[in-house]
Amino acid sequence: MTRRKFLTLSSTTSLWILTGCGSGRGGTNNSKINILDTNKMNDLLIPPLVEGSLRNGVRHYDLTIQESIHKFFENYDTATYAINGSYLAPTLRLINGERVSLNYTNKLNENTTIHGHGMHVPASMDGGTHQIIKPNSRWSATYTVNQEASSNWYHPHLMGKTAEHVYKGLAGFIYVEDDEINALDLPKNYGVDDIPLVLQDRFFDANGQLDYSPSRREVMHGYHGDIFITNGTVDAYLDVEAKEIRFRVLNGANSTVYELAFEDGRTFKQIATDNSLLEAPVVLSSLRLSPAERAEIIVDFSNDLDKRAILKDIRQNKPFLHVNISKEPSTITKIPNYLKKLEFFSLDEAVNVRKFNLSGERGELFINGKQMSMTRIDERVPLGQIEIWEITNEMEMEHSFHIHATHFTIAQRNGSYTNVAENEKGYKDTVYLAPNDTVKILVKMIDFNDSKLPYMYHCHFLEHEDAGMMGQFLVE
């Protein structure tokens, strides 16, 4: 029998030491010792915005992967990994059509990689399992940005270590912008009315250190922390103007699905999903995001001066962000009723069907009965061909499915297009699967054939990915 110690936060924002006895977290013989009770809220950290520097016609982003120290709690210095900071990474702003070079220098004492999740790039620039960055070395992802405006992200993708490296803090947004989105009357003042939100949950030990030590059961069911963190901030608050506020939301958790809503039940409008605007805003009162999914939402606080709104996960009834509407508006925006025209393929246009079954047994996880092998190519996908990828979750647990290289649309969920939610009807790179779900997605590889270097597809519950629920494909 093992004994572990953890820091958790109570609903009154007190900091506690929990001492648990048992084979897993939350054993039956827990004791609680209150060591701090400040009711202190923390100003939401906004990741720095990096717009790169133009050198010889290429926009360069110089990024250092490093060990650091971050203060999640007032009286604790927590050891972390970070890019150019103390936790997480800066937001990178890329412009469609520009030539860019994302230059990563690895100052860690171990290998890592950095994958541009959602970025449409050649396999050699993908930052997947094959583009390893060794300690004290540098790797650059150099390419011409060729995709529409969207909110993407970047994170490690080292075979067997992705979950741990993300858990320690290696993750950040990549914004792609273009003239079309900039012409829309949307909030676009970064950190003022255009706010990035990286949502995560973590365990901390009694010394205030990040605890990544999943049991075999937690690998199977996912590693779900008990402390909620927003942009590296515990118990976060944000002061905003009484106007439309745009939140770009990333589920940056290892394995937790969030169902986001405001405590007062207010509605909001989703304007974008992973890789594109929606054709029109979708009114929601809650938003489900599985790990790696993104959504852009606009909340209208115009009539809420001197009020507070609390964004929370209603599955666990825990807050992520307290929004204080405390300022008069300096500018006014009006979200348009129509956003853009999207091109959709139909099932009838598909010339091939590929099936991917997600399964597991005895602590092992599979796609089509196989675990990931770096030396095996699982699929060969022709360039320019419209295909149906049918993904079935055969397990009594949630999963997601992410494809590198391309963006797709969801054609059916459980046999019908009517089961596809309105806010899923944009271009995506990650799709959620409830237990026993089957989704059909329409996939077309439009660029970057390579007969040697593969891309990945995998569950984006990071413990599942590291445990082998991943495969490789070539675009030919």
Per-residue model confidence as pLDDT tens digits over 401-419: 999 999 999 999 999 999 9
From the centroid of its chain, how far is CA 124?
A: 22
Determine the Cα–Cα distance for residues 196 and 199; give it in Å rounded to an integer: 10
Predicted local distance difference test score (pLDDT) of residue 40: 80
Q: What is the mean pLDDT of residues 115-132?
A: 98
Q: What is the mean pLDDT of residues 38-55?
A: 91
pLDDT at 14 over 70: no
- For the chain, give the mean pLDDT: 92
285/39: higher pLDDT: 285
pLDDT at 18 over 90: no
From the centroid of its chain, how far is CA 60?
A: 24
Per-residue pLDDT tens for 226-277?
999 999 999 999 999 999 999 999 999 999 999 999 999 999 999 999 999 9
Q: Which positions ≥6 away from 276 have C-beta within 8 Å? A: 148, 149, 150, 340, 342, 407, 426, 427
Comparing 3-7, 142-146, 286-290, which segment has the lowest mean pLDDT?
3-7
Q: Which of 193, 197, 214, 203 is nearest to 252 (CA)?
A: 197
Determine the Cα–Cα distance for residues 267 and 124; give it in Å rounded to an integer: 42
- pTM for the model stands at 0.93
Task: Name residue 384's amino acid.
Answer: G
pLDDT at 1 over 50: no
Predicted local distance difference test score (pLDDT) of residue 298: 98
38/163: higher pLDDT: 163
Determine the Cα–Cα distance for residues 404 and 125; give it in Å rounded to an integer: 11
Q: Which letter, b or e, does each residue of 54-63 get, where b requires 16 or more Cβ atoms within 10 Å of its Cβ?
A: eeeeebbbeb
Determine the Cα–Cα distance for residues 151 and 61; give it in Å rounded to an integer: 17
Determine the Cα–Cα distance for residues 274 and 430; give it in Å rounded to an integer: 7
For residue 309, what are its two tokens? 């709104």
Comparing 21-30, 298-307, 386-395, which segment has the lowest mean pLDDT?
21-30
Bridge partners, 295 (sequence order)? 249
Predicted local distance difference test score (pLDDT) of residue 8: 43
Q: What is the mean pLDDT of residues 422-440?
A: 98
Query: How sure is the predictor about 12, in pLDDT bands with cuts at 50, 70 and 90?
Result: very low
CB of 298 within 8 A of CB of 332? no
pLDDT at 32 over 60: no
Determine the Cα–Cα distance for residues 151 and 148; give it in Å rounded to an integer: 10
Q: Which positions ≥6 away from 137 have C-beta within 8 Å? A: 105, 106
Residue with tokens 């009694």: 206
Task: Name residue 234's amino acid.
Answer: V
CB of 284 within 8 A of CB of 267? yes
For residue 102, what are its two tokens? 């994302």
Predicted local distance difference test score (pLDDT) of residue 39: 55
**Phi and psi at residue 163, to the nearest 5°:** -60, -45
If DSSP states are collapsed to H, E and C, what string results for the chain? CCEEEEEEECCCCCEEEEEEECCCCCCCCCEEEEEECCCCCEECCCCCEECCEEECCEEEEEEEEEEEEECCCCCCCEEEEEECCCCECCEEEEECCCEEEEEEEECCCCCECCEEECCCCCHHHCCCCCCCECCCCEEEEEEECCCCCEEEEEECCCCCCHHHHHHHCCCEEEEEECHHHHCCCCCCCECCCEEEEEEEEECECCCCCECCCCCHHHHHHCCCCCEEEECCEECEEEEEECCEEEEEEEECCCCCCEEEEECCCCCEEEEECCCCEEEEEEEECCEEECCCCEEEEEEECCCCCCEEEEEEECCCCEEEEEEEEEECCCCCCCCCCCCCCCCCCCHHHCCEEEEEEEEEECCEEEECCECCCCCCCCEEECCCCEEEEEEEECCCCCEEEEECCCCEEEEEECCEHHHCCHHHCCCECEEEECCCCEEEEEEECCCCCCCCCCEEEECCCHHHHHCCCEEEEEEC
pLDDT at 15 over 90: no
**Could you give the C-alpha distances from 356 to 43, 158, 317, in angstroms and in order?**
44, 23, 34
For residue 174, what are its two tokens? 């990549």
